[in-house]
A and B are shown apart, each in its own frame.
Chain A
Amino acid sequence: MQTNPIPRLELTGITKRFPGVLANDNVGFSVLPGEIHALLGENGAGKSTLVKMIYGIMQPDAGQIRWNGAPVTVQNPKAARKLGIGMVFQHFSLFDAMTVLENIALGLDANLPQRELEAKIRAVMQQYRLLLDPHRTVSTLSVGERQRIEIVRALLLNPSLLIMDEPTSVLTPQEVEQLFVVLRKLASEGCSILYISHKLHEIKALCDTATILRGGKLVDTCDPKVETSRSMAEKMIGAGLKEIKKVAGRTFGQERMIVNRLSVPGIGPFGISLHDINFEVKAGEIFGIAGVAGNGQNALLLALSGEVPSDDADAITVDGARVGTLSAKQRRLKGMASVPEERNGHAAVPEFTLSDNTILTARDRLHMVSGGLIRSGMAKTYAGEVITSFAVKALGPGATAGSLSGGNLQKYIMGREIMQKPSVLVVSQPTWGVDAGAAAAIHQALVDLAGQGSAIVVISQDLDELLSLCDTLAVINGGRLSKPMQVAEADINEIGLLMGGIHGDTSAVAPERAHAH
């Protein structure tokens, strides 16, 4: 270490308590000027809470924030921006019906004339090669382009610290590279970057320092260039990693689900419609559907589960039965189960007990209803079995679904469907926001179910997850599904291009074999 410069941001003893949890426990680290600093941790490790306190959305219960050496209290985001802290959130706050320019103008504290603002925006875009037409309507932009709006909005304020919250979770591999170029350029100009992620290879590629959080506590501050992905992962998870156990040389049986020319009109002015979706899943096969968020994944899940039935009975076939026009309840009776992305309020009712939540999807297949009355004893027994079999941490069948952590509730929901032994299971984002331990358990359960001869469809934005879990993979983009490919032979560049909406010829791209993490 040479002469110690004054850190741009220094946190000491930051503690934040929520009812029932200690989100941050005596956390401290510092970010130097021009440093790209990774904040690494699993979902629920306390990363978001920590940056919310830096950005002034929340106040710490104890501890100190120093800015360029001076202690500060960041009252609100406006004060944070005034200090020179910019933030790009994981979930964008953009109005679909407005142009890029209007969206940026809305997010600014100062009131600039439109022409002046446009000139400034164009200058920033030029400087960092964030190419975007300020007069385009947001609804016509890809997710990667929408993120650029947020970055431009943050850069307009000349921040000296830029916080990026999980910026790559919605980007294609190519877009990630472009983003890194921008971030490196910013850092070289002296802007500090606090980069929040749980993707280790990105952190190794981009960051100078990594602070690892686990369960709200600081585990380590290390140099990601020196550490291996595995060593960082183990610090992050606190235990050895589990590999998915797949039986080698599996063979598939007959087609159990066939989707044939499925088209669904979009809901609302900006809803994504599905066009001519075709694929088939065999017994024992795990079929992955990759894609950047907002390309029709939700519509596809609703169409497959039967929540939005099709007009065409032949659009979906399950074990030879034409179910296209059937409702969700009827499709369940034909052997189909589904798990939507949103746990609270879609897959489960947060106010209801776990026992009551089994009635939601298991009542007919498991005969929990007789003569219009609910056999609550059976529901309770089944809930108890799911809790035990899937190691759900809950007080029992009487606990409300909302009182469970995300990972535990997800395990419970997956267990509720899997233990009904469906012939076809469709799941969306099975491990989104779930800690690594629970994710591994869920992956293993899916593999085991496939081993018993069920056909499984996994819709996910996490490409690594799909590559390690699935046998076959297709990419959804703009409501259209690509041709399926064997994961073992898949080319990650081609997948990336498909995710970005470029179909067909990919010979210009140097092939790189897909790697499973």
Chain B
Amino acid sequence: MRIKLEKRPEPSRLMLVITPIASVLLTMLVGVVVFDALGIDGQRAVVDIFLTPLLASYKWQDVAVKAAPLIIIGLGLSIGNRANVWNIGAEGQYIIGALCAAGIGIAAGTSGGPFIMVLMVLAGIAGGSAWASVPAVLKTRLGVNEILSSLMFTYVALQVLSYLVGGPWKDPNGRNFPATAPLTADQALPLLPFTSVHLGVGVALVLPFLFWLLMSKSVFGYQIRVVGSAPNAARHGGFDSNQTVWLAMLIGGGMAGLAGALEFAGALKTINLGFPSGYGFTAIIVSFLGRLHPIGVLIAGIVLAVTYVGGQVAQTTVHIPNATAGIFQAMMLFFILASDIFVRYRVRFIPAAKSAPAAGE
């Protein structure tokens, strides 16, 4: 018997939905096996990482707050990924966005209110876009690969962060800790009463639907889809490839910057050296697990947020390091990328051919 991959006449819509779900389930299954082999209660670890945050209602707020930046960044990256513009530097754009928002907060002194909040958010978007525009210039002018340049710029952003929070922007009343002064109560984004759920979560819930409209109904969305599927056809249709690179980078950077500003102004209210928590990288997984579809990204963002929260749960229950969540996230990405083939191909089992003398062997 032989196994053969056969091209489908049309990409399977069913597989488009099934493969991400199967990837998550497979990740859990492999997790159980691997942790059992390591002598850790694998079943317990997987349950704690994937299910406890969903079953325990007191964890829901945590999940929502963690999902918000993942969804927002994931949406921006999905646009780039669709157009084959690979922005790997969302983490850096997220940091710069947060720093720009913090700059507004510091400049505002004690004054606050909606005006300052809007200004902080806009500064975040502008900062993220500006950071992403450097790889865009390098790509369109000099042909520099944006994967490398955007990733390298993340490390530059980290240096900027440590310079600012350890130097000019260090909180004068902060007992010399490298951190900015916390936002005042009327500078921070409003919370849902009695919870830690801030306005950014609301933004993360609304944006996917806006992006959905943008991608499916607008000429811009069409341009992004054509450039990604068939660059030559895009050129034939009169879409400029450099313009596409620019738009994809600016939107990806802007969304990452927005997420950074919201995380700062909504959840943390201060920036310290621990501010970068890998959301910018995890959002790459969110974008692919969500099949680059805005609504898929919304769901995938929640799934990944669950593993973040679950990783902390498992730390205390089965005493495995927090990095375990990262292993699970990476496994998900591997499985989703590997299972991509089933969307375009189907597997056929062919009974062994009748044996005839083979020629010339």
- Residues of A at under 8 Å CB distance from B? 19-20, 56, 59, 64, 67, 70-75, 78-80, 82-83, 305-307, 327-330, 332, 338, 340, 342, 344-352, 356, 359-361, 363-364, 369, 372-374, 376, 400, 402-403
Contact = CB atoms under 8 A, between A and B. Distances in A.
A344 B357 CA distance: 40
A79 B360 contact: yes
Given A20-B9, A369-B219, A403-B9, A347 B359 contact: no
Interface centre among B10, B222, B361 (most CB of A within 10 A): B222
Contacts of B360: 75, 78-80, 82-83
A105 to B, nearest CB: 21
B10 A329 contact: no
B238 A345 contact: no
B226 A360 contact: yes
B217 interface: yes
5 contacts: A64-B356, A82-B359, A345-B233, A351-B11, A360-B237
A342 B229 contact: no
Contacts of A356: 222
Nearest to A301: B236
Closest 4 pairs between A and B when the two form their complex, measured CB to CB: A329-B238, A82-B360, A360-B237, A79-B360
Given A73-B356, A372-B220, A19 B229 contact: no
Contacts of B9: 19-20, 403
Contacts of A372: 218-220
B82 to A, nearest CB: 12
A373 B233 contact: no
B147 to A, nearest CB: 23
Contacts of B186: none
Interface centre among B6, B217, B233, B353 (most CB of A within 10 A): B233
A350 B10 contact: no
Interface in B248-276: none
A346 B222 contact: no
Contact of B359 (A72, A327, A329, A361): A72
Does more than half of chain A's interface fall in helix, strand or loop, or is it mixed?
mixed
B237 A361 contact: yes
Nearest to B221: A374
A82 B353 CA distance: 22
B319 interface: no
Contacts of A345: 230, 232-233
Contacts of A70: 357
Contacts of A72: 356-359
Given A19-B8, A73-B356, A328-B237, A350 B222 contact: no
A360 B357 contact: no
A80 B359 contact: yes
Interface string B76-116: 00000000000000000000000000000000000000000
Contact of A374 (B8, B219, B353): B219
A75 B238 contact: no
Given A79-B361, A328-B236, A350-B230, 13 more contacts: A19-B9, A20-B9, A59-B353, A70-B357, A83-B359, A328-B235, A340-B236, A348-B233, A349-B226, A349-B230, A351-B230, A359-B219, A373-B218
B219 A373 contact: yes
A59 to B, nearest CB: 7
A133 to B, nearest CB: 33
A307 B240 CA distance: 9
Contacts of A20: 9
A363 B6 CA distance: 35
B10 A360 contact: no
Given A305-B236, A328-B237, A340-B236, A346 B230 contact: yes
Nearest to B233: A349
Interface centre among A74, A305, A329, A349 (most CB of B within 10 A): A349
Contacts of B220: 372
Interface centre among B218, B237, B357, B358 (most CB of A within 10 A): B237
Interface centre among B220, B239, B360, B361 (most CB of A within 10 A): B360
A328 B218 contact: no
B357 A73 contact: yes
A73 B358 contact: yes
Given A73-B359, A352-B229, A403-B10, A307 B235 contact: yes
A67 B230 CA distance: 44
A400 B219 contact: no
Contacts of B236: 305, 307, 328, 338, 340, 346-347, 360-361
Contacts of A19: 6-9
B218 A347 contact: no
Given A19-B8, A351-B229, A75 B358 contact: yes
B215 to A, nearest CB: 11
B8 to A, nearest CB: 7
Contacts of A328: 235-238
A408 to B, nearest CB: 13
A19 B4 CA distance: 12
B15 to A, nearest CB: 14
Contacts of B225: 352
Contacts of B357: 70-73
Nearest to A356: B222
Nearest to A332: B238
A79 B9 CA distance: 31
A79 B359 CA distance: 6
A247 B259 CA distance: 67
Contacts of B356: 64, 71-73
A73 to B, nearest CB: 4
Contacts of A74: 359
A214 B226 CA distance: 36
Contacts of B358: 72-73, 75, 79
Interface in B205-237: 217-220, 222, 225-226, 229-230, 232-233, 235-237
Interface centre among B8, B225, B236 (most CB of A within 10 A): B236
Given A73-B356, A374-B219, A349 B229 contact: yes
A328 B238 CA distance: 5
A347 B236 CA distance: 7
Nearest to A368: B219
Contacts of A373: 217-219
A57 B239 CA distance: 39
A202 to B, nearest CB: 31
A438 to B, nearest CB: 20
A360 B235 CA distance: 10
